[in-house]
Structure 1
Amino acid sequence: MRATFPEYVVALATIVGSVLFSIFGGVGIACLPLGLIFSFIRRPKAVITRSQYIKEATELGKKARELKKAAEALHQEERSGNKGRKWRKNVKAVQKELLLLEDDMNALEEMYPQGEQAETTWAFTILGYIGKLILGIIGLVVSVAWVAHIVIYLLIDPPLSPFLNEVFVKLDSVWGLLGTAAFAFFCFYLLLAVIAGETMLGLKLVFITIHPMKWGGTLMNSFLFNVGLILLSSISVIQFCATAFAYYAQATAAQEIFGHTLQSLRGIKYLYKYNVFQYAFVGLSLITLVYYALFGWRKRKPTGRFQLSN
């Protein structure tokens, strides 16, 4: 059966999205729960004294003035037309330092709440970190279930077990929409993992042209850029879920488009026949797990004096 033009366009978009999905999803499936758990581990343990607050605030003020001077110097170079490779490198370095400075300021405000309701603010801060721990543990269980399902059902041929597919079927037998709700939850969690992975890579790998996303501090152009990547990856999330839950989603339109049609197209089918994206997904998730095990629990050390590279 020959594929229609819209189906082939969807297939090509899925290929591009699958590359992004393998990278962002593989990283995010591990960093989403572990980031929450290690955020609890790195939480402030107690309120600092006023003298400590003044000392830390003074250091941050010095750092802010250094970055302001660096930004003004870069602005002068831009006006003079000197926008070479060194200038772009320094701009990225200043942007990175600004993000780190904002993190340090927020951390300092957490450790020394002010105002008439300082005790209440501190209590809510602690409750927030406890909530992160609970969500992180739940997310870790879901992430492990996802990776185990990929290995058991997709990478091993023939599959050892339907695993989550069978769970959804049994939940449907308990109540009609329970299995569907669980299916939707796992699909939505996978999309959250893509967003988490993209956020992590955008902040960590500054040398790659990925606009960083930060809660309450994302520029509009960066936001639109990342929304485009997420929308492109969402097609692959649908395709991935249709493949991973083929037993549960059999005889559906999604299974027909992303299952039979996509895997029979010339030049494309081999990527899915040999599970290229699934292996990349699992591999990156394991690499991220090792990274967090080695470095995730450590608190970031404050940087020294900032200087532009010559």
Structure 2
Amino acid sequence: MRATFPEYVVALATIVGSVLFTIFGGVGIACLPLSLIFSFVRRPKAVITRSQYIKEATELGKKAKELKKAAEALHQEERSGNKGRKWRKNVKAVEKELLLLENDMNALEEMYPQGEKAEATWAFTVLAYIGKLIFGIVGLIVSIAWVAHIIIYLLVDPPLSSFLNEIFIKLDSVWGLLGTAAFAFFCFYLLIAVIAGEMMLGLKLVFITIHPMKWGGTLMNSFLFNVGLILLCSISVIQFCATAFAYYAQATAAQEIFGHTLQSLRGIKYLYKYNVFQYGFVALAILTLFYYALLDGERGNRQEGSSSQINFWFAL
């Protein structure tokens, strides 16, 4: 099949974006709702007393001094040119401890709101965690629906059911734009899941070099880098939705470009013919689910013992 130049450019961009989408989307579809639910589970249950606040703040101050000494020692080693494997290992340990220390400080501020509007601040904190729980439950339902739809409609041959496609069509029969709104919601949720996965990988996985994004603390170059990744993934999100909802979106321009044309190009069609990206998406979603179920519960224990890690690394 002869394709136009713009269509081939879109196809190549889709290939690059599909690799990123498979990683970020597969991780994000699971971590987005689970992170909200676990955030509610680990929420501060009540406001601490002033004496408790002073005690905890003193401990954090001691940790901060230890980290400052460790950072100064690393800086001196860097000046002397001693930047071997041990030095890089210690730098990563210090960076990890800084992140944990900052998280502990934010948690302490939540547990002891200060100022004239302390009660209102605590009330908003409680409402925020309730909102996280609600959105987490809704997101978990949507994520399960997405994964189930991919398995039932895309991975099983022949498809067991058109699932979400049938739901959208029935919603359209109830009201003209209801099915379209549901279709848009699922597509938008998938894009949000990609963003969540990208942010999680940038902060959590040390073997992937991605500029970290953090609320109120992201550098402009890191922000632009992540925006570029998300823009690449957005093309693949459109392609993925056009494939997943092919029955509902039939006879549309998106289905023509991302369905027929893309799957007919030489050298590219096999990636979509054998559902390579769909299998990777589901596999990463399941792995992320096990990560949260088995490892995330131990985060508190790891943080409790984090104060001695700096001395441990420097003792090696």
Q: How far apart, in 1, do the equivalents of 2:129 and 2:253 lie?
A: 42
Of residues 54-63 and 216-225 in structure 1, the stretch that sits farther from structure 2 once superposed is 216-225
Q: How far apart, in 1, do the equivalents of 2:298 and 2:86 lie?
A: 31
**Partner residue of 2:118?**
118
SS at match of 2:44: coil
Tell me how far 1:69 sits from its aligned partner.
2.5
Tell me how far 1:96 sits from its aligned partner.
2.4
Of residues 113-122 and 127-136 in structure 1, the stretch that sits farther from structure 2 once superposed is 113-122
Q: How far apart, in 1, do the equivalents of 2:22 and 2:99 lie?
A: 27
Of residues 163-172 and 274-283 in structure 1, the stretch that sits farther from structure 2 once superposed is 163-172
- Matched to 1:102, the amino acid is E
- Matched to 1:271, the amino acid is L
Q: How far apart, in 1, do the equivalents of 2:295 and 2:86 lie?
A: 30
Deviations 1:5-35 (A, max 9, x none): 2222221211111111111111110110011
The answer to whether the Cα contact below 8 Å between 1:42 and 1:297 also exists between their aligned partners in 2 is: no
Of residues 292-301 and 188-197 in structure 1, the stretch that sits farther from structure 2 once superposed is 292-301
**Partner residue of 1:304?**
307
1:165 is aligned to 2:165: yes
SS at match of 2:295: helix
Tell me how far 1:147 sits from its aligned partner.
0.6
- Matched to 1:74, the amino acid is L
- Matched to 1:27, the amino acid is V
**Using a 3 Å threshold, how does the CA distance of structure 1 residues 89 and 253 change in structure 2: closer, same or farther?**
farther
Tell me how far 1:285 sits from its aligned partner.
0.7
1:281 is aligned to 2:281: yes
SS at match of 1:221: helix
TM-score between both structures, scaled by the size of structure 2 = 0.92
- Matched to 1:123, the amino acid is A
**Partner residue of 2:100?**
100
**Using a 3 Å threshold, how does the CA distance of structure 1 residues 138 and 248 change in structure 2: closer, same or farther?**
same
**Partner residue of 1:251?**
251
Deviations 1:240-273 (A, max 9, x none): 0010011111111111111111111111111111
Tell me how far 1:81 sits from its aligned partner.
4.7
**Partner residue of 1:63?**
63
Q: How far apart, in 2, do the equivalents of 1:26 and 1:46 lie?
A: 35
Q: How far apart, in 2, do the equivalents of 1:298 and 1:134 lie?
A: 24
Q: How far apart, in 1, do the equivalents of 2:67 and 2:199 lie?
A: 24
**Partner residue of 2:209?**
209
Deviations 1:50-81 (A, max 9, x none): 22211111111112122222333333444445
1:237 is aligned to 2:237: yes
- Matched to 1:155, the amino acid is L
Tell me how far 1:87 sits from its aligned partner.
4.0
1:21-170 → structure 2 map (5 Å cutoff): 21-170=21-170
Q: How far apart, in 2, do the equivalents of 1:171 and 1:128 lie?
A: 32
RMSD between aligned alpha carbons?
Answer: 1.8
Equivalent pairs counted in the alignment come to 310
The answer to whether the Cα contact below 8 Å between 1:36 and 1:132 also exists between their aligned partners in 2 is: yes
Q: How far apart, in 1, do the equivalents of 2:184 and 2:94 lie?
A: 41
TM-score between both structures, scaled by the size of structure 1 = 0.94
SS at match of 2:231: helix
Gaps of 5+ in 1: none
- Matched to 1:109, the amino acid is E
Q: How far apart, in 2, do the equivalents of 1:169 and 1:87 lie?
A: 60
Tell me how far 1:119 sits from its aligned partner.
1.9
- Matched to 1:280, the amino acid is G
- Matched to 2:59, the amino acid is E
Q: How far apart, in 2, do the equivalents of 1:235 and 1:276 lie?
A: 17
Q: How far apart, in 2, do the equivalents of 1:249 and 1:158 lie?
A: 19
Q: How far apart, in 2, do the equivalents of 1:89 and 1:254 lie?
A: 48
- Matched to 1:103, the amino acid is N
**Using a 3 Å threshold, how does the CA distance of structure 1 residues 5 and 93 change in structure 2: closer, same or farther?**
farther
Q: How far apart, in 2, do the equivalents of 1:297 and 1:41 lie?
A: 10
Of residues 25-34 and 221-230 in structure 1, the stretch that sits farther from structure 2 once superposed is 221-230
Tell me how far 1:166 sits from its aligned partner.
1.3
The answer to whether the Cα contact below 8 Å between 1:47 and 1:111 also exists between their aligned partners in 2 is: yes
SS at match of 1:304: helix
Tell me how far 1:235 sits from its aligned partner.
1.1
Identical residues among aligned pairs (%): 86
**Partner residue of 1:181?**
181
**Using a 3 Å threshold, how does the CA distance of structure 1 residues 6 and 86 change in structure 2: closer, same or farther?**
farther
Q: How far apart, in 1, do the equivalents of 2:183 and 2:75 lie?
A: 51
Q: How far apart, in 2, do the equivalents of 1:297 and 1:121 lie?
A: 28
Q: How far apart, in 2, do the equivalents of 1:80 and 1:5 lie?
A: 55
Q: How far apart, in 1, do the equivalents of 2:213 and 2:72 lie?
A: 24
- Matched to 2:144, the amino acid is V
